[in-house]
Structures are given as structure tokens and as C-alpha cells.
Amino acid sequence: MKINERKNQKISKNDGIMLVRTIRRSDRPHIAALQTESWQDSYADVLPESYLTDQLAEDLKRYWGTVQIKPEDIVMVAEAAEVIGFIAIWCRPEPFIDNLHVKPSQRSRGIGSMLMASAARQMIQQGHNTAYLWVVESNTEAIRLYQRLGGNCTDRNLKDLFGHAVPNIKIEWSDISTLLNSL
């Protein structure tokens, strides 16, 4: 794959053109659906099946329909023929990476890394040099990605996921430029 930094696009001979761009209001239902699909795939071992199948989609639709995205926040989507990934970082004031999701059928193609890199460049442009996130402890694939991108596991705690206490690991970047250097 070839990256065109100037246009912030990733080009692949097999997949066509993929663009990383700032979220639009019209993307919200799509990212709610994508996050639902991602959680149903990744969190079946930590959230009740009845919640994943009966309530999750409505909770995320409501969340993404009402969450206030402030000018300093970074919310970006990866788009090919459709939205296939997104990242949401709340910079209030320290950057907290709240969401990084890639459509399960599109994982392991570099989309998560590309979203993280695009967001890291934007954080640096905004004057930030650190960031952190919490990841579900059983999501070892995501933890490996974050460690490969220079993140360090620093804490463990139970976190609330829509009323469900789930073991999480805190991952921090004390210098987010290391994220760019690890690609």
C-alpha cells in the first residue's frame, strides 16, 4: 500500500482509494452501526449476549446522535465506498482516545494504524504531545496494535460500558510522536 500524505489518503491496488477525513454530521449513524458491529465481534466474551443483540445498537445510535463534538476534539473516519473505520479523541484538555473501530471485515489492513497516525498528526498540530486510552483487557489484538504503535500499559481498572463493569487496561503515549515513528 502507498500513502499519499498530502491528501491524507491511502491507496491500494486491491481496495481502491481510502480517504481519512473529519467526521460529518451525516456520518454519525454509520459510525454508530460500525461501532455496534465492532463491539458485537470483539466483546462477546465480556458483555451479555442479550445486551449486544437487543440494546447496544440503540444505545450507540442515541450516543452518537447526541454527543457534542467540540472544535478541539478529533473525530475522523476512514472511508472507501463506505465508512470502514473511525477514531474519536476528546481533547478536554488532555487527549483521550475514546474510540478506534474498524469494520471487522476490514481489520488487519492497516486502517487502525492509519487512523491513529492521522489523529496523532492532528494532535501534534494542536500542541498536544501525550495521549491515552482505555481498552478492554480481553481485546488482545487491539492491545498489540497500541503497543506496536508505541503505547505503554500503565494501569488496570474496571470501566463502565453502558452499565456493564468491564476490566480495562490504560495505554499511554508520553510522546505521541513515537506513534508516528513506529509506523
Dihedral, CA of residue 74, residue 80, residue 81 and residue 86, to nearest 10: -30
* pLDDT, tens only, 41-98: 999 999 999 999 999 999 999 999 999 999 999 999 999 889 999 999 999 999 999 9
Look up the CATH number of the domain holding residue 155. Answer: 3.40.630.30
* Nearest one of 110, 111, 131 to 120, comparing CA atoms: 131
Q: Which domain holds residue 165?
A: 2-181
pLDDT of residue 183: 73
pLDDT of residue 25: 94
Domain count, the chain: 1
CA dist 113 to 89, 90, 145, Å? Answer: 15, 18, 8
Torsional sign, CA 138, 117, 98, 173: positive
pLDDT of residue 150: 95
CA dist 121 to 37, 57, 58, 59, Å? Answer: 28, 31, 33, 31
- 4 or 72, higher pLDDT: 72
Phi and psi of 42, rounded to 5°? Answer: -95, -25
**pTM higher than 0.85 for the full model?**
yes
pLDDT of residue 94: 93
pLDDT of residue 1: 38
**Residue/partner pairs of 3-9 with CB below 8 Å, 24 or more apart:** 3/114, 8/118
The grid coordinates of residue 118 equal: 492521522
Low-confidence winner among 5-19, 88-102, 169-183 (lowest mean pLDDT): 5-19
Q: Across the chain, where does the E strand assignment appear?
A: 2-4, 9-12, 16-22, 74-79, 83-91, 95-102, 131-136, 152-161, 164-173
